[in-house]
Amino acid sequence: MPIRDLLPRLRKAANMTQADLAGRLYVTRQAVSRWETGETSPGIDMAKLIAYVLEVPVVELLEIPQGPVCQSCGTPFSSPDMERSLEDDGSGNADYCRWCYSAGVFTQQGMDDLIEATAPCFAQATGVSIEVAVSYLGAFLPSLKRWHRQSHLMEHGGQTHALGSTASSQITNKETTCRDQRQKTN
């Protein structure tokens, strides 16, 4: 659901006026009004703050593609050249794409590694900066099956992983490469 439709409903459910929400976000009432009319949209970092203030999961505010997505990187399976992965016995895996999971093994071991590998492609495909792509992925990926499961393990004494803390600085120092470019070299 677009944020222009969602934000007024969430704001009213929290018993807040536009001015109340604006005050909590340190923006003008007019900014909130422009978001609610669809004239503009808040950036990813503002969406995180809105989610915090309204006490809702940030993924509720992100305009996430409908339909099945890779449960590691979040890319819709409807995207061109997006194939599902195979297990090591050759059987199909319905949850993960071939870029994230191959022969029963994840190709990127941690969330930082995945963000570093995919943020440049995400930025190029969506026309946002790499920093915005990193921020979006850092907010969105934890909602996916792979990372949610790892988060659950962390809470119960399992393996740990980083949540995008260093990916932004690593990415800005690397050459931008995308899946299509990697595919050409394979």
Residue 68 belongs to some domain of the structure: no
176 and 120 in a common domain: yes
Segments of the chain assigned E as strands? 84-86, 92-97, 101-102, 105-106
136 and 90 in a common domain: yes
Of 52, 169, 56, give the one whose Cα is nearest residue 116: 169
Of 113, 121, 118, give the one whose Cα is nearest residue 150: 113
56 and 88 in a common domain: no
Beta bridge partners of 142: none
Domain holding 88, by residue range, is 84-185
32 and 109 in a common domain: no
Q: Which amino acid is residue 161, in one-letter code?
A: H
Answer whether residue 168 shows pLDDT above 60.
no
Which of 3-12, 56-65, 66-75, 111-120 has the weakest average pLDDT?
56-65
99 and 56 in a common domain: no
Beta bridge partners of 97: 84
Residue 77 belongs to some domain of the structure: no
Say what the pLDDT of residue 170 is: 37
92 and 56 in a common domain: no
Residue 66 belongs to some domain of the structure: no
Higher pLDDT, 147 or 75: 147
Number of domains present in the structure of the chain = 2
The predicted model scores a pTM of: 0.66
91 and 14 in a common domain: no
167 and 97 in a common domain: yes
pLDDT, tens only, 39-98 = 999 988 899 999 999 999 888 888 776 788 899 998 888 887 789 999 999 899 999 999
The CATH number assigned to the domain holding 49 equals: 1.10.260.40
94 and 27 in a common domain: no
96 and 131 in a common domain: yes
Residue 71 belongs to some domain of the structure: no
142 and 51 in a common domain: no
